[in-house]
Structure 1
Amino acid sequence: MDLFSIILWPLKWAVEAILVAWHWVLTALGMDAASGTTWVLAIVGLVIVVRSALVPLTVKQIKSQRRMMEIAPELRKVQAKYKGKKDQLSREAMSRETMALYKKHGTTPVSGCLPLLVQMPIFFALFSVLNDVTKHAKAGDGGVGLLNETLTQQFYDAKLFGVASLHDSLMGSLEAKNAGWEATVTILVILVVLMIASQFFTQLQIVSKNLSPEAKTGQAYQIQKVMLYVLPFAFVFSGVFFPLGVVIYWFISNLWTMGQQFIVIRNMPTPGSDAAKAREARLLKRGKALDAKGNVISLVEYEAEQQRLLEEAEKRKAQQPKREQPMGKNRAKKQAQKQNNPAPKEPTDGSDDGTDDGLAGAKKK
């Protein structure tokens, strides 16, 4: 065994255990143990188990992506600050400020990819299990775990709609041209098209509905738009070489993602996005609104909260010290002279000063 097989061994064991468990449940319900439909439904059950386990990571991914979109304007300011500066100190300072932003908002670019990174080893394990079915069936042995000799042979003989083997690939069917290869190719082509369409629609939901106006001006938005049209080509490549069972797993997983994304965008949209405005309009029709923390409250509570926030803002404004007008040098000099040489005090008896009174008294004498 090579290093890759050693790493995948526990995952392959887990994949086989889940497949066999679902197969046992379905046969216990009266389905044919050797039927292709039974094994396809077992693969669907595998998707349900894996994606359900990834829900916490998916929620974290959604929140991380939202925070990344929110801090995009601040990241652009940091990049503009150090634009054109190639020296080591500037690069280090830019890196520190960028990491400080990530830490402040509790996100990183990698955290948005966690569900995909976790799911890929499981996907490779499933590919390895299905790819080894032919080898194990011809050798008369089983897989690495609960997929024993009997179940392996049943899986190998199972055909979807009675014509397409779950271990056959599009390229393999075109090369071998065994009996019923036309039906296998047709099924695989349809599944690949549906897989691409589901992935495209999922990404389109995000790009068109769940981005704020600020996010649509950043570089990340342009990359997302490019990926929206480039990514399907990767699915075309995978659909050509992957076994039918893997393509089914991927398509069902895409359907899960599409439904999950629809629910998230509808109920947890990015602030300022078209989806957020649509949600606010729906809430308004029901006599509700969102408070400052994003919780759903009644309109009466919302108006009271807005009034309270307005009063607090006015109170803080009143408590702030008044800003003094900046004084120029000449004005400051004149002000200092006035303070050092105050004007003579005017008399209070109606006369100009005491000099005239003194003269008048001297004349009388």
Structure 2
Amino acid sequence: MSLDWIYWAISWILLRWHSLWEMIGISDGTVLGTNWAWILSIIFLVVTVRVILFPVFVKQIKSQRAMQALQPQVKALQEKHKGDRETLQKEMMELYRKEKANPLMGCLPMFLQIPVFLGLFHVLRRLDPVQTLNTTIYGWTQAQWDSAVHAKLFTAPIAAQFGSSTAELEGMGANGTTVKVIAGVLVLIMMATTYLTSRQMILKTGWAEDPQQRMIQRLMLYGIPASLLVSGAIFPIGVIIYWVTNNLFTLGQQQWVLRKYPPPVINTKDGKAVPGPGARKAAAPQQQEKPSRFGRSKANGAVQDTKPAVDGRALAPKPGAKPVNPKKRKPAKRQG
């Protein structure tokens, strides 16, 4: 299957943002050894993709809340089928199907961004200063191609990699030590922010009861950041900028969602379920309202009478007093 449509889409977004920055006065001139028009284009490529994928992110949060609501039932199934892993998996899949919960939904936004990452990786890998460019490729013009080839971040070309050969660096007019320092620092930042995005969610929602989900959580928390230490050596600097920006965007987005919709249940590492911030907030006692002007107030949803109690003995007739018959009426006056 051809992936040209991905390369065309990524190039189109990248070039539109680059044209916008040029239009508002950010040219391809270097400031601090950086071509900010291209750096900002990559950063806002992230913003564009995240805005497009925001509905998917909302579905991800809803799925995570549904999975949390099912934790007591999952725990009960684990106790019921203890030692029978096959039956447990069947029962849990049936529970997920019945309740329309998808344990893999949490990874969907990341999977949908893989084509974007591959597209940008492919485009930046083709920024070769010595190749003859067909100006119709992915919608680039020769001027845009030449500009991107010489785009730099602190004098390190965005198309360069930590593992670039001496010949490749010479062709880009780059210093090998500078490229390795810039790329190395960015790879470490990429690993740290990737770890923090997973850790942030696990600390707020807790470890999953489902063994399959827990395995995915461990993979996201430890496996992916560790793999970046090796794979990051072949990533162009521009791709690492994209990844770091995406992680920072994710951290901010997750923080906003977790504050607005705190999880009702948190699972500790030893499998104990404890009330989350959402549950504690709902269980907090409501402030007592002041009595209304009509002598009645509402407390915990019930209407209570706030009038003072009346002592019945104070209303009793005194000894020797003439009894009063409230039913007796005065005689009507005669008409003349």
Query: TM-score, structure 1 length as denominator?
Result: 0.67
Shift of 1:126: 1.1
- 1:234-313 equivalences in 2 (<5 Å): 234-273=227-266, 276-277=276-277, 303-304=300-301, 307=302
Q: Given the alignment of the two structures, is residue 99 of structure 1 paired with residue 96 of structure 2, yes or no?
A: no
Matched, 1:201 2:196: yes
1:153 and 2:150 equivalent? no
In the other structure, the counterpart of 1:348 is none
Q: Which letter does structure 2 place at the counterpart of 1:144?
A: I
Judging changes above 3 Å, is the alpha-carbon distance between structure 1 residues 117 and 217 closer, same or farther for their aligned structure 2 residues? closer
Contact 1:131 1:243 in 2 (8 A): yes
- Unmatched segments (≥5 aa) in structure 1: 289-299, 309-365
Cα-to-partner distance string for 1:20-76 (whole Å, 9 max, x where unaligned)? 110110000112136522101000110000011111101111221232233234234
Question: Who is 2:111 aligned against?
Answer: 117
- Classify 1:43/1:283 alpha carbon distance in 2 versus 1 (closer, same or farther; 3 Å): farther
Of structures 1 and 2, the larger Rg is shown by 1
Give aligned-pair identity as a percent: 31
Instruction: Judging by fraction of residues, say which structure has more helix.
Output: 1
**What is residue 66 of structure 1 aligned with on the other side?**
65
Distance in 2, Cα, partners of 1:187 & 1:129: 20
Q: Deviations for 1:77-117, whole angstroms, at most 9, x for unmatched residues?
A: 3355445558xxx75x962x433311333211232222112
User: Contact conserved, 1:34 with 1:157, CA < 8 A, in 2?
Assistant: no
Equivalent runs, 1:323-342 vs 2, <5 Å: none
Contact 1:188 1:244 survives alignment (8 Å): yes
Please list the CA deviations of residues 208-230 of structure 1 after superposition, one character each: whole Å capped at 9, or x if unmatched: 2233xxx5665344752464233
Q: Does structure 2 conserve the Cα–Cα contact (< 8 Å) formed by 1:174 and 1:185?
A: no
Aligned equivalents of 1:230, 1:84: Cα separation in 2: 28
Give the SS at the match of 2:163.
helix
Structure-2 change in CA distance of 1:223 and 1:112 (3 Å): closer
Report the CA distance between 1:248 and its aligned residue.
0.5
CA distance in 2, matches of 1:302, 1:223: 45
Aligned to 1:131: 125
Counterparts of 1:286 and 1:187, CA distance in 2: 54
Give the AA of the match of 2:233: V
CA distances 1:328-359 after superposition (whole Å, capped 9, x unpaired): xxxxxxxxxxxxxxxxxxxxxxxxxxxxxxxx
d(CA) in 2 for partners of 1:77 and 1:279?
21
Does structure 1 residue 27 correspond to structure 2 residue 22?
yes
Contact 2:11 / 2:123 at 8 angstroms: preserved in 1?
yes
The 1:181–1:205 alpha-carbon spacing in structure 2 relative to 1, beyond 3 Å, is same
CA deviation string 1:252-291 (max 9, x = no partner): 0000001111111111121034894289669979969xxx
Q: Distance in 2 between matches of 1:105 and 1:302?
A: 35
Contact 2:156–2:179 under 8 Å retained in 1: yes
Contact 2:262 2:278 (C-alpha < 8 Å) held by counterparts:
no
Say which SS state the counterpart of residue 164 (structure 2) adopts: helix
Q: Note the alpha carbon deviations across 1:134-172, whole angstroms, 9 max, x for none.
A: 27x6113236332222211110111222x2111111011
| Partners of 2:77 and 2:60 in 1: CA distance | 24
Q: Is the 8 A contact 1:143 1:152 kept in 2?
A: no
**Residue 18 (1) aligns with residue 17 (2):** no
1:353 corresponds to which residue?
A: none
Whole-Å separation in 2 of the counterparts to 1:28 and 1:48: 19
Cα contact 1:192–1:236 (8 A) shared by 2: yes
What pairs up with 1:317-356 in 2 under 5 angstroms? none
- Post-superposition shift, 1:129? 1.0
TM-score of the two chains, using structure 2 as the length reference = 0.72
Tell me how many residue pairs correspond in the alignment: 280
Residue type of the partner of 1:277? P
The SS at the match of 1:269 is coil
CA distance in 1, matches of 2:120, 2:232: 15
Distance 1:48 1:287 in 2: 42
CA distance in 2, matches of 1:121, 1:172: 23
Report the Cα distance in structure 1 between the residues aligned to 2:9 and 2:286, rounded to whole angstroms.
Answer: 47
Question: Distance in 2 between the 1:173 and 1:225 partners?
Answer: 35
Is the counterpart of residue 169 in structure 1 residue 166 in structure 2?
no
| Equivalent pair of 2:162/2:183 in contact (CA under 8 Å) | yes
Asked if 1 retains the 8 angstrom alpha-carbon contact of 2:125 and 2:236, the reply is yes
Do the aligned partners of residues 146 and 279 (structure 1) sit closer, same or farther apart at CA in structure 2, a change above 3 Å counting?
farther
Check 1:74–1:284 CA distance in 2 against 1; reply closer, same or farther (3 A cut). closer
